[in-house]
Chains A and B, each alone.
Chain A
Amino acid sequence: MRIKRRTFLKGSATAGGGLLASHFLSRQLETLVAQQSGSSPKEDWIPTTCWIGKQDCGMVARRIDGRVVNFYGHPDHPRNRGTLCPKGVAQIMALYDPNRVKTPLIRTNEKGIPGQWRQASWDEALTIVAQKIREVRERDPRLLVWQKGRSKAKPFYDEAFVKASGATKLTHGAFCSDAAYRASEYTIGLSGGLHPDFRYTQFVLAWGWNLTAAGGNRLCWITWPQQLIQAKERGMKLVAIDPRLRGAGHFADEWLPIRPATDLALALALCQQLIARDTIDRAYLSQYTNAPFLVGEDGFFLRHHGKELVWDMASNAPRPYDAPGIVPALEGEYLVDGRSAKPAFQLFREHVAQYTPEWAAEICGVPAEAIERLAQELGENARIGSTIVIDGIEVPYRPVAIMTYHVAQQELGFQAVRAMLLIMMLLGAIGAAGGQRIDLGPWKLHENFEKLDKIQIKDPPYNIYLKDSPYFPINSNSSAIVAKVMQNPDKYGVDYIPEVIIIHMCNPLAAFASTPDLFEGYKKFKFVVVIDAWLSTTADLFADVVLPAAVLEKYEGPAAASDQYLDATALRLPVMEPLFQSRGEIEIYLDLCEKAGILYGPGGYLDQVNKALHLSDEHRLPLDRKPTVREIFDRWAKSAGISEGVAYFEKYGVKVAGPIPPKKFYGYVTDPPFGGVRHRLYGESLLRYQRDMQQRGVDTSYWRDYTPFPTWRKPTMEESPPTYDLYLISYKLIEHKQSRSAQIPLLAELAPRAWLDINPRTARERGIQDGDEVWVESHNALTGETRRVRIVARYREGIRPDTVAIPHHFGEAVRHPWAAANGAAANSLFFTGEGYVANTSDQSFHVKVRVYK
């Protein structure tokens, strides 16, 4: 097309405009399309969502003659507002990558070594897999295992397959941040890590490395930094608490380089200081937590007719906690029926008295004055007692919060995050304006608040991840534990070894720790099916059948699109026909279930899809006919009240329902407040589990962290000999995401392989120059096992001298020109099992190492 002079002048006039004006939500999609269109008569635009990252950013694919030439950020999507991160842009190369798995593959050589394959038809491959499924299900459904990495969008088709097939499901959370999820679910009743109400907050602790350099709670890389920067421009103060400065990058007002794995000690010292300074929100603690509940000398609550008792200062008598008109005591010691009892808060006060700033300074390597100052600033900024009016609603205002996520994966992770939540509870900041948030969107109670309090530890036999066992009563479902159990089921009271596993978009052998354990464990599966777009390490070593998944050429969804303030939903729509012979996953499951005899009828896959998508009667899938995938989403959309059905998303991509009103958003003002529960300052059930675990004779290492209050102890790795004088930590890069990106050339060019961050002082002491290859050798403090990798050392002034760090993501796809031999995987240095998992089975990413040339 010829650009006319007139167009050109018009162009220059429209460039610019108000600051950020083009990034506000106002049906920008049409404008974007109108502006760019015109080069070719055969141009069209397909709204869809990012396939790589976890926040499913909205995108628009620009197509010329059916060929996608670019992905732009969807201008109306609340999470990314017309922008994409490097992965979002680069995934265009993943789409066309000739190194994708192109056809179903069937293994022709033995397992445990790099695979040899023959190409097969879908019919042949699915028939083989379906037969295996039928065969093991008839013998014992426990023999079938299904595993997925992070589900993109709502995991309805995962759930439907697991339910219809009766498979045991393995997840990825124990290698991500699940210790934080469990701590939040147990303590507050919301599921998630920790993030601020960025709109109103004034003072944030960026705890761990997830501020600008790893996404963080529930979202990816774009939304949090956008909200962070707006808050900074408003004058919010940010303190980074991490052994490395890089996560907070440019944005930290202050950096406290804490010693790895001592976060619990610092959190406890902050609790001690807040109480000592009396900057605590007594009203919140009395009314919305179990802080006033009377605890007997045995550590359990006093109850009357099943109701917990508090000491009523008005009547000077014990009363049920919810009796009207009472004034519950938080402190003191009382005699109830001749026995002594104290409010939980009194016990907490006594418990943390030992955790002084001086004590923590020694452990954390952070000066005592800094800890005192931090506590003071937290206390001042919390403005306890204040309220603000938001949209006509008066909301308690506590503009302080913690941002934390992946750092939860440490040996004391569950209790460390619980202690962080206790800081925010003391300040009354949970669910307050400007305060602590956990889940995205409305304040929604999670079923685990009750479930994790009412776990009944069972007698053996247990399932492969030891659910309801005395090992991990609270259990995050760890594949590394599965691998340990597979190697020695008797030891753990497991009476079977599963035979068939379907591994879907997941690469446990590279993406999870510890690699050698996973290798030995996964070797025991007799039949392994991998659904993936590339040949992963796991597939290469162990798959019997590989089924090629489409990447962006498929339907997936529905995907939440909330940025935490707006309620919105999006769908992934196919941007073209599946390349090669790949297929969208839902199609794969429909055909597989049909062949395995579990598609139709009540309890079948279609029935389970209906349930998982909560389809209304009118829009339910019939149970006797295989639908198209588009039809499933059409029914879902109509059932969700979008009368145009899937066509709405084909036109607009994202449905923005609007702002979440304060009465749904802020825990204090929901009806009932906080969903009607009492937040758990005191973890009574944790003590109950501990007693039960002790009685059942499991090793101390399993029960010692089941304490009602977070309690400091030295991490196991500290028992390694002094020659292992450095801490190894790991982190993630913005250029990559799990096993979805290391092979994308545009990203591999930016970050082609792992390196070791090392403080120049530490390096020079060892004669290591910037760029030298070095050995990093890790040591297991309990077994004495050592492991080492060769890696390039890079000087960094932004890391503690006693700490080294390696980014994840590498060593994932095999035989790809851009990913093969891409270097040392941090996961092969970490250990798992006793000493290296949390009490919730969550993997620790900390180990002692030595570094030498």
Chain B
Amino acid sequence: MARYAMVIDLDRCTGCRACMMACKVENNTPQANFWMYVFRFEEGHYPNTHIWFMPRPCMHCDNPPCAKVCPVGARYKRVDGLVATDWDRCIGCRYCEVACPYGVNYFNWKKPSKNYYLDWQAKDVQEVTGGAVPPYRNPDLDQPYGAERRRTAGGGRLKGVIEKCTFCVHRVERGQKPACVQNCPLFALHFGDLDDPNSTVSQLLRRKPSFRLLEELGTEPRVYYVGGHPPSSESHQIEEVRVRV
């Protein structure tokens, strides 16, 4: 069984946010939800200013506080390391959102079909989309995944459930990389099997010093950063995304 992890090379990230966009379209996430979020940071004072960027997906922790508090087992850790959300089971109590120290859980406040930026009901649009909302609805997301055959892929499911980064379970099970990894123009994002010493992620972790976010909390993230430093109180976010809700 593979032990999946993501390695993010901060030396390569230009903060372009193409990964955020790839995630949104691939996973059909509703308006204001960013399973992948890229921080743009400034540090220091003029003229000794430093700018850097930090992509932040779900950490897919090995010791996930979100799964521990889920009263119905909707949030669970898979054997390959993915932390999944079974939206058939989620009751919307939002305990996971509170327990997660990384802020990666998004609650569907609105009916997702009414929360895709525009009204897709126009007749002439429906003629070509067959009524799909959003019009780029990805059919792969409807399948059950994992040995346990649970519906854990994609977003925009139901009002009142929690959704978050799935590590693109629907792609990974097809042997593809997650959408954000595949689309990063700078190849700053890497995904693979920690148990395979030849995987890119294993190689990178051997080659470069790494850190994980809030390591001191004991959450044991499966997302590693190389080529930079963790954000601190000196890191001031610029160009933050202020969503319309």
* Chain B positions within 8 Å of A195 at CB level: none
- A746 touching B117 by the CB < 8 A rule? yes
Of chain A, the residue at the smallest CB distance from B177 is A15
Neighbour of A15 across the interface among B2, B21, B239, B243, CB < 8 A: B2
Bitwise, A52-80 to B at CB < 8 A (1) or not (0) is: 00000000000011111111110000001
- A92 touching B15 by the CB < 8 A rule? no
In this assembly, does B191 line the interface, its C-beta being within 8 Å of a C-beta of chain A? Answer: yes
* Chain A positions within 8 Å of B16 at CB level: 85-86, 212, 221, 225, 734
* Chain B positions within 8 Å of A93 at CB level: 117-118, 134-136
A761 to B147, CA, bound (A): 58
* Chain B positions within 8 Å of A99 at CB level: 118
In this assembly, does A723 line the interface, its C-beta being within 8 Å of a C-beta of chain B? Answer: no
In this assembly, does A490 line the interface, its C-beta being within 8 Å of a C-beta of chain B? Answer: no
- B193 touching A16 by the CB < 8 A rule? yes
Neighbour of B14 across the interface among A13, A22, A249, A751, CB < 8 A: A249
Q: Place the interface of chain B in its size category.
A: 35 or more
Please provide the chain B residues from 114 to 149 with a CB less than 8 Å away from any CB of chain A in the complex.
117-120, 122, 124-125, 128-130, 132, 134-140, 143, 145, 147
A40 to B139, CA, bound (A): 8
In this assembly, does B93 line the interface, its C-beta being within 8 Å of a C-beta of chain A? Answer: no
* Chain A positions within 8 Å of B129 at CB level: 67, 96
* Chain B positions within 8 Å of A818 at CB level: 117-118
Please provide the chain A residues from 801 to 850 with a CB less than 8 Å away from any CB of chain B in the complex.
801, 817-818
Shortest Cβ distance from A82 into chain B, in angstroms?
7
- B46 touching A89 by the CB < 8 A rule? no
In this assembly, does B157 line the interface, its C-beta being within 8 Å of a C-beta of chain A? Answer: no
A4-12, A273-281, A338-346 - interface stretch: A4-12
- A3-B173, A85-B18, A797-B45 known; A97-B12 Cβ under 8 A: no
* Chain B positions within 8 Å of A229 at CB level: 11-12, 186
Bitwise, A83-125 to B at CB < 8 A (1) or not (0) is: 1111011101101111100100000000000000000000000
* Chain A positions within 8 Å of B128 at CB level: 66-67, 96, 576-577, 579
- A796 touching B138 by the CB < 8 A rule? no
In this assembly, does B196 line the interface, its C-beta being within 8 Å of a C-beta of chain A? Answer: yes
* Chain B positions within 8 Å of A314 at CB level: none
- A19-B200, A36-B176, A576-B128 known; A12-B118 Cβ under 8 A: no
- A84 touching B22 by the CB < 8 A rule? yes
In this assembly, does A752 line the interface, its C-beta being within 8 Å of a C-beta of chain B? Answer: yes
In this assembly, does B87 line the interface, its C-beta being within 8 Å of a C-beta of chain A? Answer: no
- B117 touching A245 by the CB < 8 A rule? no
* Chain A positions within 8 Å of B244 at CB level: 749, 752
A800 to B45, CA, bound (A): 11
- Report the interface size for chain A: residues with CB under 8 A from the other chain: 91
* Chain A positions within 8 Å of B117 at CB level: 93, 745-746, 749, 818
A735 to B191, CA, bound (A): 25
In this assembly, does A667 line the interface, its C-beta being within 8 Å of a C-beta of chain B? Answer: no
A11 to B146, CA, bound (A): 12
A746 to B27, CA, bound (A): 13
Bitwise, A431-445 to B at CB < 8 A (1) or not (0) is: 000000000000000
Shortest Cβ distance from B130 into chain A, in angstroms?
7
- B185 touching A222 by the CB < 8 A rule? yes
* Chain A positions within 8 Å of B132 at CB level: 67
* Chain B positions within 8 Å of A139 at CB level: none
Neighbour of A16 across the interface among B1, B46, B199, CB < 8 A: B199
Of chain B, the residue at the smallest CB distance from A8 is B173
* Chain B positions within 8 Å of A734 at CB level: 16-17
Shortest Cβ distance from A741 into chain B, in angstroms?
12
- B47 touching A257 by the CB < 8 A rule? yes
A84 to B20, CA, bound (A): 11
- B183 touching A84 by the CB < 8 A rule? yes
* Chain B positions within 8 Å of A246 at CB level: 51
A761 to B46, CA, bound (A): 9
Shortest Cβ distance from A150 into chain B, in angstroms?
20
A80 to B16, CA, bound (A): 14
Neighbour of A245 across the interface among B49, B125, B182, CB < 8 A: B49
Please provide the chain B residues from 185 to 229 with a CB less than 8 Å away from any CB of chain A in the complex.
185-187, 191-193, 196, 198-204
A579 to B186, CA, bound (A): 34
In this assembly, does B44 line the interface, its C-beta being within 8 Å of a C-beta of chain A? Answer: yes
- A35-B175, A67-B132 known; A746-B21 Cβ under 8 A: yes
- A735 touching B17 by the CB < 8 A rule? yes
Neighbour of A84 across the interface among B4, B18, B145, CB < 8 A: B18
- A3-B174, A7-B174, A72-B183 known; A65-B130 Cβ under 8 A: yes
- A89 touching B182 by the CB < 8 A rule? no
Shortest Cβ distance from A105 into chain B, in angstroms?
15
In this assembly, does B236 line the interface, its C-beta being within 8 Å of a C-beta of chain A? Answer: yes
- A11-B175, A225-B185, A749-B243 known; A86-B51 Cβ under 8 A: no
A773 to B188, CA, bound (A): 36
Neighbour of B241 across the interface among A12, A72, A749, CB < 8 A: A749
- A85-B16, A229-B186, A250-B53 known; A759-B46 Cβ under 8 A: yes
* Chain A positions within 8 Å of B124 at CB level: 98, 102, 579-580
A82 to B177, CA, bound (A): 12
A393 to B125, CA, bound (A): 57
In this assembly, does B106 line the interface, its C-beta being within 8 Å of a C-beta of chain A? Answer: no
- B21 touching A89 by the CB < 8 A rule? yes
A249 to B53, CA, bound (A): 9
* Chain A positions within 8 Å of B51 at CB level: 245-246, 249-250, 798
* Chain B positions within 8 Å of A36 at CB level: 174, 176
- A67-B128, A69-B138, A222-B185 known; A798-B42 Cβ under 8 A: yes
- A97 touching B136 by the CB < 8 A rule? no
* Chain B positions within 8 Å of A226 at CB level: 185-186
In this assembly, does B163 line the interface, its C-beta being within 8 Å of a C-beta of chain A? Answer: no
* Chain B positions within 8 Å of A72 at CB level: 182-183
- A89-B183, A750-B20, A817-B118 known; A16-B196 Cβ under 8 A: yes
A472 to B66, CA, bound (A): 67
Shortest Cβ distance from B15 into chain A, in angstroms?
6
A817 to B125, CA, bound (A): 17
Of chain A, the residue at the smallest CB distance from B42 is A797
* Chain B positions within 8 Å of A23 at CB level: 187
* Chain A positions within 8 Å of B46 at CB level: 257, 759, 761, 797-801
- A39-B139, A746-B117, A798-B46 known; A85-B175 Cβ under 8 A: no
- B14 touching A250 by the CB < 8 A rule? yes
Of chain B, the residue at the smallest CB distance from A64 is B139
Bitwise, A419-460 to B at CB < 8 A (1) or not (0) is: 000000000000000000000000000000000000000000
Of chain A, the residue at the smallest CB distance from B207 is A19
Of chain A, the residue at the smallest CB distance from B15 is A249
In this assembly, does B98 line the interface, its C-beta being within 8 Å of a C-beta of chain A? Answer: no
* Chain A positions within 8 Å of B45 at CB level: 797
A667 to B94, CA, bound (A): 64
Of chain A, the residue at the smallest CB distance from B141 is A39
Of chain B, the residue at the smallest CB distance from A87 is B21
In this assembly, does A20 line the interface, its C-beta being within 8 Å of a C-beta of chain B? Answer: yes
- B191 touching A69 by the CB < 8 A rule? no
* Chain B positions within 8 Å of A68 at CB level: 136
A5 to B148, CA, bound (A): 11
- A15 touching B53 by the CB < 8 A rule? no
Known A35-B176, A250-B13; further 19 A-B contacts with Cβ < 8 A: A8-B173, A11-B175, A12-B175, A16-B193, A17-B192, A69-B138, A92-B136, A93-B135, A222-B185, A225-B185, A229-B12, A245-B49, A576-B128, A749-B244, A797-B46, A798-B238, A800-B46, A801-B46, A818-B117
Q: What are 5 contact pairs spanning A and B, CB under 8 A?
A: A72-B183, A96-B120, A98-B118, A225-B16, A745-B31
- Measuring CB to CB, which residues of chain B are less than 8 angstroms from any residue of chain A? 1-2, 4, 10-18, 20-22, 24-26, 31-32, 42-47, 49-53, 80, 117-120, 122, 124-125, 128-130, 132, 134-140, 143, 145, 147, 172-177, 182-187, 191-193, 196, 198-204, 236, 238-239, 241-244
Sort A-B residue pairs by CB-CB distance and give the 10 closest, nearest first: A16-B192, A16-B199, A11-B175, A745-B117, A12-B2, A98-B122, A96-B135, A89-B21, A86-B21, A83-B185
